Amino acid sequence: MKKRCFLFWIAYLFFWSFLVIAFVVTDAYELFLLCLALVFLPLISYITLRIQARAIQAHLIKKDEQVWIEVQAHPLLGNPMLHVQFNEQHLFTQENHTRMIALLTSAPLSFEDEHFGVLKLTIEEIYFCDPLHLFCLKKNMQETLRFLSLPKPSNMTTSIIQSASSKNKEGQWIDKHEVREYQPGDSLKWIHHKLSYKTQKIMVRLFENENNANVSLFLDLSPSLSECKQCIAFYQSLASFFLQHQIRLQVWYYSQEKLCQQNVRSFKEIIDSLNHILSSPKSSVSTLPAKLQLIEHGNYLLDEKGGIFDAYRS
């Protein structure tokens, strides 16, 4: 920025000197007025810049699944060309990058195609120049936005869908007296309305296969970033599929060398689990736990009860 202002100063002084020489040679009154105006022009430009600087603000917002830098300018004078410097911190990979972009008005930010995970953006400084680009001011800021970027869910293989569906279609209602209180993730169509009215609590029917409607899933997040992206994309589809069949999940994964666990009992908790997983540092453990059955793309079933693999083996 300072180098650019220095070059504009050279151009300005060269042009002003040329006009002065032309006035001395020609003795034209119009050139005298123009030289006089150019003497005060930098001062007017600097005052304009100081007035604009008081009103200029930059905010990070999420709009239409994109991150925008929203610029608040002076209502009359507008805003000059801005150069926004911000820090981009990838919480999953623990990478930090400093970027600078130039903009006149609010604009969306673009990221690399491989980007996914929880990203923490912080606007650190704003640089802006006067209309003549002779002066440059810096404004310190600490505007932060944290957001989750996810890959598109991948398609599951037909064999997994058929296997899960055959073992867990709808089940058989054990007995008309077998009910329990509603839990997040339960299907609303199995609400027992009469009993719910009597007890003033939401009660749902209990099924034969409900005792087995729990799955422990392990995510291998130790390979490359592209493989982790496939793992997360497939996990989204797999978790949604299990919840549609009223199967609750326990999700296990490594963050660095720490083994972590998340319970997923509703579709909202899928996003919550992804927020936890991708805001934690990437796994540094390459050795997988015992008793794992690979489904696809780094998604494993953890055999805790001995018979869970038979129901969902591809």
3-state secondary structure of 113: coil
pLDDT band of residue 114 (cuts 50, 70, 90) is low
Smallest Cα–Cα separation from 100: which of 83, 119, 82? 83
The answer on pLDDT for 185 being more than 50 is yes
Smallest Cα–Cα separation from 299: which of 225, 209, 229? 229
Return the structure tokens found at 66: 């994109």
Find all residues with CB under 8 Å of 98, minimum gap 6, and list them: 85, 86, 87, 88, 124
Specify the DSSP class assigned to residue 176: T
Find all residues with CB under 8 Å of 14, minimum gap 6, and list them: none
- In this structure, are residues 60 and 99 in contact, taking their beta carbons and an 8 Å threshold? no
Least confident interval from 93-107, 125-139, 149-163, 258-272: 149-163
- In this structure, are residues 31 and 16 in contact, taking their beta carbons and an 8 Å threshold? no
The answer on pLDDT for 310 being more than 50 is no
- Residue 219's pLDDT is 92
Supply φ then ψ for residue 256, to 5 degrees: 55, -110
Smallest Cα–Cα separation from 192: which of 206, 213, 174, 171? 206
The answer on pLDDT for 10 being more than 90 is yes
pLDDT band of residue 111 (cuts 50, 70, 90) is confident
The H-assigned helical ranges of the chain are: 2-26, 29-55, 158-167, 193-199, 225-244, 267-279, 308-311
Domain boundaries, the chain: 1-149, 158-171+212-311, 173-206
- Whole-angstrom distance, CA of residue 74 vs CA of residue 251: 50
- Residue 160's pLDDT is 59
236-288 pLDDT, tens digit each = 988 988 888 778 888 999 998 888 999 998 888 999 999 999 999 998 887 77
Residue 67 carries which side chain, given as an amino acid letter? V
Rg (CA), the chain: 31
pLDDT band of residue 306 (cuts 50, 70, 90) is very low
- In this structure, are residues 196 and 204 in contact, taking their beta carbons and an 8 Å threshold? no
- Count CB atoms within 10 A of the CB of residue 297: 21
- Residue 175's pLDDT is 46
Give the percent of the chain with pLDDT over 90. 20
- Whole-angstrom distance, CA of residue 74 vs CA of residue 57: 9
Find all residues with CB under 8 Å of 35, minimum gap 6, and list them: 16, 19, 20, 23
Q: What is the pTM of this model?
A: 0.68
The answer on pLDDT for 309 being more than 80 is no
The answer on pLDDT for 38 being more than 60 is yes
- In this structure, are residues 272 and 191 in contact, taking their beta carbons and an 8 Å threshold? no
Per the prediction, the chain carries an average pLDDT of 81
- Whole-angstrom distance, CA of residue 273 vs CA of residue 238: 13
- Residue 275's pLDDT is 93
Class of domain 1-149: mainly beta
Most confident of 205-214, 216-225, 300-309: 216-225
209-222 pLDDT, tens digit each = 444 467 888 999 98
Comparing 113 with 119, the larger pLDDT belongs to 119
Burial zone of 270 (CB within 10 Å; 0-12 exposed, 13-18 middle, 19+ buried): buried
- Residue 231's pLDDT is 92
pLDDT band of residue 11 (cuts 50, 70, 90) is very high
- In this structure, are residues 129 and 56 in contact, taking their beta carbons and an 8 Å threshold? no
Burial zone of 249 (CB within 10 Å; 0-12 exposed, 13-18 middle, 19+ buried): buried
